[in-house]
Chain A
Amino acid sequence: MDQNDYRSVPVNPEEVTPKEVYLSRRKFLKGMGMVGLGALLASCAPAISTVNESPASTEDLREALTSYDAITNYVNYYEFTTNKEGVAELAQDFVTEPWSVELSGLVENPRRFSLDELRTNFEQEERIYRMRCVEGWSMVIPWLGFPLHKLLAAVKPTPQARYVAFETALVPEQMNAAESGMFPFPYREGLRLDEAEHDLTLLATGLYGEDLPPQNGAPIRLVVPWKYGFKSSKSLVRITLVENQPPTLWNTVAPQEYGFFANVNPGVDHPRWSQATERRIGESGRRATLFMNGYAEEVMPLYEGMDLTLNY
């Protein structure tokens, strides 16, 4: 299994599924439009296996790619609406050009990167990651982007820098629910510096080989595959290196439910949704949630000696 088991290596160009295949796969899924009813019927069958085996190898992940349709139409982006299937339409006119991301704080070379610079100065690679939402559903998504550590290296964090704070764009004129008062926007997230510098941590600019659509966090977003989805902030405008743990939106709103680390962990439950199992979008039944979303081997060195139940 060795390298096949690696879930994050850049995929060779010849391995990348051509767009036509994606599309036909999409059609196929559409053709099976009655997934819902199928599931309903299947659930009446006596011998249903509830927890599916999770695929581990890249090959299997490729088989299990979630449809483009689902990835782009079932999203949480609360600045637009809390209705996951309503975001795509509301976000379609979100203006993402011109765009720049400001890198500042405890860095030697603070500077602003234009979107063009981010797309051309850093080699874009495809990475197929699992995405596990704290709400108990998951997907497998072929991202396009580059590891965050490359960008951090360009601005050189100073020795005092211990955390990285991320800020999402807040454009009330274009975001319907930005000023509803429901949540304290702008959306903020944070990582410990060593987490941010981990090779799995990605700045994504695309998915399925195309530019990110607005609803998925265009033009550039964070992807931290071993953490619950809310850690992967969308539409980034600011990345700040800081000394102390930065405040994050969900950790501020409900700290007892959403920890700062928010590592995917079936052993730490949540008062609303199952974290032991998950619904993979496009499948019926539930599958077991993998510790660290299946990336334990790669990321556990980050948490040596830490009690992950306390630091949830």
Chain B
Amino acid sequence: MAKTTRQTQKWLLAAVHLGSLLPLVLFGLDAALGRLGFNPIETALHRSGRTAVAILLLSLTVTPIIKIFNLPMAIRLRKPLGLYAALYAGLHFAAFVVWDFGLNFGLIWLEFTQKPFLWVGLGALVILAVLAATSTRFWKKKLRSGWRRLHRTVYLAAGLALVHYLLAVKGDLLTLQGEYTRPLLAAGALLLLMVLRVPAVQQIFQRNRR
């Protein structure tokens, strides 16, 4: 790799780290200044959930960007983005279990028995956790070709996260009356990203480049 490319890569990597940590830093700042609003737990759940979804979607843009713009150096951004998505999902879960329900597992279980959208969220969280745990070079070597297949379930995680999101906002999903702008934008983005993974679509871009 040329020296300038490596330089660019370094800057991009730094930007990813800073950008991904910013929501957490802002949250800490707001907490310290008492600016989390009148229902801080709700604020925490909403902010962490939305940040997790946003970073997860960003992590999914890396591969299409590499392919479409022929930018192999972007590959280094994918792992940290994926790990940050998992981090925010974990914080979101912690806000629910620790802050909101004070580790009262009876109450937490009651919530799970009554609310399917929590199971959907748990599904996404488990996948993200497994992918984060197996993101190291060690696991990549150990699982060989299985690693790629395993890590393709990130699309499933994103799909589940968005279903969870759509079910978590107030309104009616069938008639779309309610606060659906944001989750639908996110769902549209995921759809687009998946279309970009279709080999036939990628060929169009590659042909155009030549």
Chain A positions within 8 Å of B, measured between CB atoms, are 32-37, 39-40, 43-44, 48-51, 69-70, 73-74, 82, 84-85, 135, 137, 182-184, 253-254, 257, 269-272, 274, 276-277, 279, 281-282, 285-286
Contacts and interface: CB of A to CB of B under 8 A. Distances in A.
Contacts of A73: 38
Contacts of A281: 38-39
Contacts of A257: 172
B170 A182 contact: no
Contacts of B36: 36
Interface string B30-58: 11111111111111000000000000000
Contacts of A49: 102
A137 B42 contact: yes
A260 to B, nearest CB: 16
Contacts of A277: 107
A71 B128 CA distance: 39
Contacts of A74: 37-39
B170 A135 contact: yes
B171 A276 contact: no
Interface residues of B, number: 37
Interface stretch (B113-121, B148-156, B189-197): B113-121
Nearest to B34: A33
Given A137-B39, A281-B38, 7 more contacts: A35-B40, A36-B36, A69-B38, A137-B42, A253-B175, A272-B117, A276-B110
Q: Would you list the 4 A-B pairs with minimal beta carbon distance, nearest first?
A: A33-B34, A50-B102, A36-B40, A36-B36
Secondary structure at the A interface, as helix, strand, loop or mixed, is loop
Contacts of B104: 50-51
A272 B177 contact: no
B205 interface: no
Contacts of A43: 98-99, 102
A272 B39 contact: no
A84 B114 CA distance: 26
Contacts of B168: 272
B139 interface: no
Contacts of A33: 33-34
Contacts of A271: 114-117, 167
A207 B86 CA distance: 45
Interface in B66-103: 98-103
